Amino acid sequence: MNSDNLNAFSLVSRLFGNLFYRQPTDSILTDVFVWLQQQGLSHIWALATDSQSEQALKNLQIKIDLSLLDQEYSTLFLGHKAKVSPLISSYGINVTEFVQFRAIRAMQPLENPDHFGLLLLTASWLEDNVSSSEAQKELFERFLLPCASQFLLQVEKHATLPFYLSLALLTREILAAMADELDEVDNG
């Protein structure tokens, strides 16, 4: 990955983190959905695509009824009847250690750090603010990859709309690419 790809990783991590963290009708996401419908993600997507990832990119960028998407989000992630727990603690991640990891790097404290989306947002912040790959490697190995493998599998199993199925697939792709990049940095 070159520096443009790394910057794309930060943007995509921030985007995907927010899409998992926030309900689609959250006012913070209003401009995000407009940008997606303008094919913004396709313009910054730095990875090679196959037919499956091409379709996933299209699925994230089509015009969608946000109230319908909000219903899907609620069914998947909200409340005690949620089909998929967005809590990192549900996947064996120690939330206190995640909080400490962030604090060591002078990251802003979180009101409720027990959420998968915050792992992606943390990865984006590290990409933008920490010059060493060691912090990213630690985030990936201790928190992000162990949680993502389980969480994304649950999303793929329970999502009924193409949006969240595609979001899970593309999240896997970007995390795999970045993990490979971190391994290359270590071995290079």
Look at residue 1 in the predicted model and tell me its pLDDT: 38
Residue in the block written with tokens 């899970």:
168
Interacting residues of 60 by C-beta distance below 8 A, sequence separation 6+:
36, 41, 163, 166, 167, 170
177, 140 contact by CB (below 8 A): no
Check residue 45 and give its pLDDT: 92
**What's the pLDDT at 158?**
97
Q: What is the pLDDT at residue 187?
A: 63
Tell me the mean pLDDT per 10 residues along the chain, length 188.
60 96 96 95 90 95 95 95 96 97 93 96 92 88 96 97 97 91 70
The Cα–Cα gap between 57 and 69 comes to 16
Domain harbouring 160, CATH code: 1.10.3480.10
Which structural domain range is residue 22 located in?
Answer: 3-187
* Amino acid 48: pLDDT: 86
* Closest residue by Cα to residue 142 from 79, 94, 83: 94
